[in-house]
Amino acid sequence: MAQKSAQQAGNTSPFSEAQIEELIEKFLAIDKPDDKSFKRLHAFIRYYFSPTIVGLENIPDEPTLFIGNHAMFGLDGMILMPTVYCETGRFLRAMGDYAWFQTSSGEKMAANGMVLGHPAVCAALMEAGEDLLVFPGGAAEANKTVEEKYSLVWRERYGFVRMAAQHGYNITPFGMVGPDDWWDHAIEGRDLLHSRPVKLLQKLGVIGEIREDLVPPIPRGLFNTLLPRPEPCFLAFGEPIEVPDCRGRKVPQAVQKTVREQTAQAVESLVADMLLLRARNKHKQGAIRRLLTR
């Protein structure tokens, strides 16, 4: 079943089967992140973003598939992965867009957990008993507009449910609040993509066609710079969602739809809880942090 899924996905993959197999070998060879760099990053996160973590006890002992909301530039993974590692010792593998692995950045990021978002990669890691992190919204959710802040942009994606069901994994939902407020949107990505300068450059052949979901907004952060505001981060893990075991057989459409809806509802509820918790704790922030994030 995993082979069939991989072949279907391979029709649109920019990587050959041989390249994917080579990447899988590299991913499996990495059994932990750089401990010192993760601890340094975790220390910075605690100082700059002052995270509040809720529900760590809900993370099951067995390998699980973490599913949650995605934020601007996808930097929420940089909060989640070091936090889970330093608090629990669990090394999450985050499934990333193909675009990352078409540059040298992808393999560098793989050293700290990023892997190619491909069914064959997911299957291999699940068979090895690894914890996985998937943002079903992908780049489209990471580059959403300011009006879509803290909303799920999952479209009609069910792959994460199929992979979980076919490999006996449950789903651990999480909701994160904070990263979507690190920057304002000076110009939305879709507006930039359809702007006259970009259209002119495409007409002149300077740049080619660009995927709309890959174009982020132009950010405006602390003091109108690119630095993120020190907006506190609130992260909550929900109780695991049991996924019907469909190993060795096709996952029914009804199962895919039901589990996807349960997961989305759980994530949305956790995000809402964290927005409320943030509002209730606003007065506890120091005067300087309140000034810099208002």
In which element (H, E) is residue 57 found? none
In a domain, 71, yes or no: yes
Same domain, 189 and 92: no
Q: What would the pLDDT profile of 82-122 be if each residue is shown by its tens digit?
A: 999 999 999 999 998 888 888 777 778 898 999 999 999 99
In which element (H, E) is residue 69 found? none
In a domain, 192, yes or no: yes
Q: Which structural domain, as residue segments, surrounds residue 209?
A: 185-220
Cβ atoms of 272 and 177 closer than 8 Å: no
CA distances from 134 to 23, 68, 183, 223, 238 (A): 18, 7, 23, 33, 15
Judged against a pLDDT cut of 70, whether residue 232 lies above it is answered with yes
In a domain, 225, yes or no: no
Same domain, 199 and 92: no
- Report the chain's C-alpha Rg in angstroms: 19
Judged against a pLDDT cut of 80, whether residue 3 lies above it is answered with no
pLDDT band at residue 142 using 50, 70 and 90 as cut-offs:
confident
Q: What would the pLDDT profile of 29-40 be if each residue is shown by its tens digit?
A: 999 999 999 999
Q: Which of 118, 33, 119, 117 is nearest to 83 (CA)?
A: 33
Q: What is the Cα–Cα distance from 69 to 140, expressed in whole angstroms?
A: 11
Same domain, 209 and 277: no
Same domain, 88 and 207: no
How much is the pLDDT for 97? 85
Same domain, 194 and 99: no
How much is the pLDDT for 9? 40
How much is the pLDDT for 12? 65
Q: Which residues pair with 95 in a beta bridge?
A: 115
Q: What is the Cα–Cα distance from 134 to 117, expressed in whole angstroms?
A: 8
Q: What would the pLDDT profile of 281-290 be if each residue is shown by its tens digit?
A: 988 888 888 8
Same domain, 85 and 196: no
Q: What is the Cα–Cα distance from 40 to 43, expressed in whole angstroms?
A: 5
In which element (H, E) is residue 86 found? helix 76-88
Same domain, 138 and 262: yes
Q: Which long-range contacts (CB under 8 A, 24 or more apart) does 146-149 make?
A: 146/184, 146/185, 146/188, 146/217, 149/180, 149/181
Same domain, 29 and 171: yes
Q: How many residues does the chain have?
A: 294
Burial class (CB in 10 A: 0-12, 13-18, 19+), 16: exposed
In which element (H, E) is residue 96 found? strand 92-96
pLDDT band at residue 214 using 50, 70 and 90 as cut-offs:
confident
How much is the pLDDT for 188? 87
